Structure 1
Amino acid sequence: MPAQFPAPDVRNPVILPDGTAHPGTVFLKPVIEHPRIEVGDYTYASAHHPPQDWGATLAPYLFPFSPEKLVIGKFCQIASGVQFITASANHRYDGFSSYPFAIFDGATAPGRPSMPGPGRDTMVGHDVWIGAGAMILPGAEIGNGVIIGAGSVVGGRIPAYSIVGGNPAQVLRPRFAPEIVTELQKLCWWDWPIDRILQSEAAICGGDLDALRKAAARY
């Protein structure tokens, strides 16, 4: 167990051997100030070229006035180049033209014929790993423990503890048997205090369900 785990409000949690903080890795919660983005503790993102505005880089079409939200759980891992294409990027395509006339004359009030209705929130569970360059489509619902392959284009509802990849992304396989997934969902280790999580690091990262059960029973 490390001598000191960084607090969830630390901007740059990775310390290099020379003692400096790695600028390309951030805990997202303290660096995003956006009224439509919610991020859980210890979720981090990495970038080869760190942006000035992490929120705008990750979700470029999510505006402060957007009706939808982007919600990301705790302990998620977001690689370089990931983008969330939220519902405000949508166009109408049920008529003869998808052209958004309303955005060019400054009158984008609800009800304009060329604007789509409000879309669904984009939801990411806890302990989700999103590989480099993946794109998450509007209204996606990604379950806890999901692993998303690099370059994947993900939409719809992704079951907890599955591995997905491709364009469009498909479930390649479940990570664990259904009964194990059910138990992990009940244990919710991501809601434990960080010191308790670190004490159970071997069980969590090594897949020792019996040890995890015992750790849960001690508290």
Structure 2
Amino acid sequence: MGFARELRTKLGLRRVPNPEVLPQHASVGRRTYSVKPSNIYWCDETSPLRIGAFCSIAEEVLFLCRANHPTQFVSTFPFRALMTKSMVAYSDLVVNGPTEIGNDVWIGRRAIIMPGITIGDGAVVGAGSIVTKDVAPYAIVAGNPAKFIRNRFTDDQIARLLAIRWWEWSDEKIIAEQPRFFGPVDAFIAASSAS
């Protein structure tokens, strides 16, 4: 059976969706890598996904734009979608609004990002974490559910880094400033604030 399916695909008789095309209501910023369209679920106009620039997304990270069954009814079973067909599949899932991933965010392998979550710029999400609450900028979270571990920098450093917004710089400026990215954060802040 697999051979016949593969042959039909190669001959153009079987349509295969392009795995590289993001869902209509999902967007990914510049230089962000490893976001797999197949790992983004149920985005629509009421629950879009926005991922910022320069994010490091590990393999098998799941983004759930809608995921929860309504709990206020007698049953959580999707009768209208699966039995009476009066609703499109998954349209009964609870809408929690947009899911927003900031810039320069690192999300570890097999993390799950639940619907309606905001992850701030510069945050880190540990591998295998399930993010059920918003994550502050430059915070490190991990676990199931993800819990705050610590901040990457002091409150003053975070405020200054957020004001610098280096992810909006041109590629040329980022390349020119590369040595400063790998030195002390205070030196980076001082040099970036002066220019």
TM-score of the superposed pair, with normalisation by structure 1: 0.72
1:117/1:152 Cα in 2 relative to 1: closer, same or farther (>3 Å)? closer
Structure 2 residue runs without a partner (length 5+): 1-19
For 2:168 and 2:193, how far apart are their aligned partners in 1? 11
For 1:211 and 1:149, how far apart are their aligned partners in 2? 25
The runs of at least 4 aligned residues of structure 1 exceeding 4 Å deviation read none
Compute the displacement of 1:191 (Å).
0.2
The answer on whether the counterparts of 1:70 and 1:122 sit within 8 Å (CA) in structure 2 is: yes
Structure 1 residue runs without a partner (length 5+): 1-30, 47-53
2:39 is equivalent to residue 58 of structure 1: yes
1:34/1:116 Cα in 2 relative to 1: closer, same or farther (>3 Å)? closer
Structure label with greater radius of gyration: 2
Which of 94, 98, 109 is residue 76 of structure 2 equivalent to?
98
Q: Deviations over 1:44-70 (max 9, x none)?
A: 017xxxxxxx31x221x225x552101
Which of 58, 82, 102 is residue 61 of structure 2 equivalent to?
82
The answer on whether the counterparts of 1:134 and 1:151 sit within 8 Å (CA) in structure 2 is: yes
2:145 is equivalent to residue 156 of structure 1: no
The answer on whether the counterparts of 1:203 and 1:212 sit within 8 Å (CA) in structure 2 is: no
For 2:65 and 2:95, how far apart are their aligned partners in 1? 11
1:40-189 paired onto structure 2 within 5 Å: 40-45=29-34, 54-55=36-37, 57-59=38-40, 61-63=41-43, 65=44, 67-87=46-66, 89-104=67-82, 105-108=84-87, 115-116=92-93, 118-189=95-166
Compute the displacement of 1:216 (Å).
4.9
Compute the displacement of 1:33 (Å).
3.4
Q: Deviations over 1:86-126 (max 9, x none)?
A: 22x221111221011111233227xxxx9355321111000
TM-score of the superposed pair, with normalisation by structure 2: 0.81
Return 31-40 or 166-175, whichever deviates more: 31-40
- AA in 1 matched with 2:77: Y
The answer on whether the counterparts of 2:68 and 2:94 sit within 8 Å (CA) in structure 1 is: no
- AA in 1 matched with 2:58: A
Fraction of identical pairs, as percent: 33
